[in-house]
């Protein structure tokens, strides 16, 4: 029984358009569909045909599209506005809300779909008019995702959407700390809050008053807040007692003081941390997290270039229940030995919970002379130990140099990761087609990415296999070479 349909572009599909008869056929044979997604509503699909299609799906609970052309969106949503999908609970319609008909359609959808709890758009709510339409049309709204919301829009949305639990939006550029602080008492109790801030405005008063009332908050995402300082973040760590997940994008104003406060105040409650381009996060802050957050399950460190081996090893040693770890560096000061030290510690301390491990070193420098053997040697023996310690590992991406020169030993070690589904690694200069052939015996492996290797031989074998029987393994080959430095 089909209950989910997704129409998205595919490289092997040369179709330019679906006919009405084809959509009718799908609708007649898939009447129990509950989730449907259209990547595009014009070109491949005519909006009127999609609207007709939706009339045959009375059990639909989720409609999603990436199409942002509002006229096509209006025509598509007409059948929903007429009551064809009364059980709808999730509506994801990017658009831009710039047509006169949009308001009417929203009101009609609200009348016929009273169960809608999630609305995702790309609208800019610049006045109280559109905000009031959302409030009146969707009284049970729990999740709202939109673009800019200005001061008037917030004054209407916040008191009207009292059931709101998840709110994602961007502060309008004209909002300052005083204006934002005046609407902070209007916020309902949220579980997830995602805020984008363009410009360099700081909001210490707003964050303080807002955080004091958000006792149920579990997740916060702050993006592009280059003007935010520690005084904005510390109140969140002090008052949001149920906080489990923190994501920071391009928040360069936070120092180690903020991360120490996060570690000390939220300690064992923290489960997920994602830091992207947080330039002032140093070993001091990350070590505090390692010392105080032993139950951390997911950690992403993307271009946090002030970190060194010390804090990474500390994370591997003390956060023994990690399920996902993702690190990416591009600075020349980072080297493959840091990855090796982290993996060595992980192979000795993880409790077997790790499922996703990604290390991307964008500027790996290697020495032209042979590296001496040490306890952190990055070779097949280390991978063997990692496979034994982390049997649940599904995704392994090591875009970095290693010291194993024997491809037979390397690929034998890779086969020890029994549950591996995706592998990305430097296979060494001596890897040949017979080594790729060995990986095809892996019962779960589906995707392989090879970096900086004997591309021609491996790629030739893969293409031959694909032509013969299609093959169960998808392989991708990325050419290039590592930077070298003299002795």
pLDDT in tens, 87-106: 999 999 887 666 667 788 88
Residue 72 located in a structural domain: no
Shared domain check, 260 and 184: yes
Q: What is the pLDDT of residue 2?
A: 82
Shared domain check, 372 and 245: no
Q: How many CB atoms lie within 10 A of CB 217?
A: 23
- The pLDDT tens digits of the residues spanning 120-151 come to 988 888 888 889 999 999 999 999 999 889 99
Q: What is the pLDDT of residue 470?
A: 59
**CA-to-CA distance for 446 and 449, rounded, in angstroms?**
10
Shared domain check, 315 and 260: no
Q: How confident is the model at residue 369 (pLDDT cuts 50, 70, 90)?
A: very low
Number of independent structural domains in the chain: 2
**CA-to-CA distance for 26 and 200, rounded, in angstroms?**
51
Q: What is the pLDDT of residue 138?
A: 95
- What is the arithmetic mean of pLDDT over 261-273? 97
Q: What is the pLDDT of residue 364?
A: 58
**Whole-structure pTM value:** 0.89
Whether 199 and 173 have beta carbons less than 8 Å apart is answered as yes
What ranges in 430-479 are assigned the alpha helix state H? Answer: 433-439, 455-469
- What is the arithmetic mean of pLDDT over 393-397? 97
Write down the mean pLDDT value for the chain.
87
Shared domain check, 414 and 333: yes
Q: Indicate if the pLDDT at residue 17 is higher than 70.
A: no
Residue 75 located in a structural domain: no
Residue 206 located in a structural domain: yes
Q: Indicate if the pLDDT at residue 333 is higher than 80.
A: no
Q: Indicate if the pLDDT at residue 12 is higher than 50.
A: no
Residue 6 located in a structural domain: no
Residue 293 located in a structural domain: no
Residue 360 located in a structural domain: yes
Shared domain check, 378 and 259: no
Of 10-19, 27-36, 362-371, which one has max mean pLDDT? 27-36
Mapping DSSP to helix (H, G, I), strand (E, B) and coil, where does residue 428 land? coil
Q: What is the pLDDT of residue 487?
A: 35
DSSP string of 2-69?
--EEEE---TT-------HHHHHHHHHH-TT--EEEES-SSSSS-HHHHHHHHHT-TT--EEEE----
Shared domain check, 382 and 266: no
Q: How confident is the model at residue 164 (pLDDT cuts 50, 70, 90)?
A: very high
Shared domain check, 399 and 337: yes
Shared domain check, 406 and 267: no
Which of 76, 88, 91, 100 is CA-nearest to residue 33? 88
| Proportion of the chain above pLDDT 90, given as a percent | 56
Q: What is the pLDDT of residue 486?
A: 44
| Domain boundaries, position 259 | 176-271
Shared domain check, 467 and 318: yes
Domain boundary (246, 271, 296) is at 271
Q: Indicate if the pLDDT at residue 473 is higher than 90.
A: no
Domain boundary (271, 292, 322) is at 271
Residue 386 located in a structural domain: yes
Q: Tell me how far CA of residue 112 lies from CA of 99, 194, 440, in angstroms.
A: 21, 29, 52
- The pLDDT tens digits of the residues spanning 173-214 come to 899 999 999 999 999 999 999 999 988 889 999 999 999 999
Q: How confident is the model at residue 474 (pLDDT cuts 50, 70, 90)?
A: confident
What is the domain-level CATH number for residue 336?
3.80.10.10
Q: What is the pLDDT of residue 233?
A: 97
Residue 165 located in a structural domain: no
Q: Indicate if the pLDDT at residue 75 is higher than 90.
A: no
Shared domain check, 318 and 262: no
Shared domain check, 317 and 440: yes
Q: What is the pLDDT of residue 410?
A: 93
Q: What is the pLDDT of residue 272?
A: 98
Task: Out of 7-21, 41-55, 153-167, pick the least confident.
Answer: 7-21
Q: What is the pLDDT of residue 15?
A: 53
Domain boundary (215, 250, 271) is at 271
Q: Indicate if the pLDDT at residue 483 is higher than 70.
A: no
Q: How many CB atoms lie within 10 A of CB 189?
A: 13
Shared domain check, 339 and 263: no
């Amino acid at each position: 029984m089909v209950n989910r349909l997704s129409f998205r572009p595919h490289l092997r599909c040369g179709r330019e358009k679906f006919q009405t008869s084809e959509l009718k056929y799908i609708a007649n044979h898939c009447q129990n569909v509950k989730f449907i997604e259209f990547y595009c509503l014009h070109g491949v699909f005519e909006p009127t045909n999609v609207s007709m299609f939706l009339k045959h799906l009375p059990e639909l609970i989720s409609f999603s599209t990436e199409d942002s052309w509002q006229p096509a969106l209006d025509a598509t949503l007409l059948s929903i506005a007429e009551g064809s999908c009364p059980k709808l609970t999730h509506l994801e319609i990017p658009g831009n809300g710039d047509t006169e008909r949009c308001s009417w359609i929203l009101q009609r959808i609200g009348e016929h779909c009273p169960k809608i709890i999630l609305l995702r758009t790309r609208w800019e709510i610049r006045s109280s008019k559109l905000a009031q339409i959302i409030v009146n049309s969707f009284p049970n709204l729990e999740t709202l995702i939109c673009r800019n919301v200005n001061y008037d829009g917030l004054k209407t949305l916040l008191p009207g959407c009292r059931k709101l639990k998840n709110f994602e939006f961007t502060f309008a550029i004209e909002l300052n700390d005083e204006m934002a602080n005046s609407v902070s008492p209007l916020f309902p109790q949220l579980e997830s809050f995602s805020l984008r801030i363009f410009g360099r405005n700081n909001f210490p008063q707003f964050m303080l008053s807002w955080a004091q009332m958000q006792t149920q908050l579990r997740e916060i995402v702050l993006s592009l807040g280059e003007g935010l300082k520690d005084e904005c973040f510390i109140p969140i760590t002090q008052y949001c007692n149920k906080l489990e997940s923190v994501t920071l994008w391009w928040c360069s104003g936070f120092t180690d003081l903020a991360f120490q406060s996060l570690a000390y105040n939220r300690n064992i409650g923290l489960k997920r941390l994602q830091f992207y381009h947080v330039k002032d996060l140093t070993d001091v802050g990350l070590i505090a997290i390692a010392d105080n957050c032993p139950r951390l399950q997911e950690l992403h460190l993307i271009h946090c270039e002030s970190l060194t081996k010390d804090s990474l090893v500390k994370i591997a040693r003390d956060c023994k229940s990690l399920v996902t770890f993702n690190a990416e560096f591009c600075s020349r000061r980072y080297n493959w030995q840091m990855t090796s030290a982290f993996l060595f510690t992980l192979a000795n301390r993880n409790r077997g919970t790790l499922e996703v491990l990604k290390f991307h070193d964008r500027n790996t420098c290697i020495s032209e002379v042979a590296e001496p053997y040490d306890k952190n040697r990055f070779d097949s023996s280390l991978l063997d130990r990692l496979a034994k310690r982390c049997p649940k590992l599904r995704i392994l991406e090591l875009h970095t140099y290693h010291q194993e020169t024997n491809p037979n030993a390397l690929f034998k070690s890779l086969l020890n990761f029994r549950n591996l589904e995706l592998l990305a690694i430097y296979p060494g200069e001596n890897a040949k087609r017979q080594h790729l052939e060995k990986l095809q015996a892996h019962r779960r492996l589906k995707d392989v990415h090879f970096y900086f290797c004997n591309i021609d031989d491996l790629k030739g074998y893969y293409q031959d296999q694909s032509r013969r029987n299609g093959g169960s393994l998808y392989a991708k080959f990325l050419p290039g070479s590592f930077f070298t430095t003299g002795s």
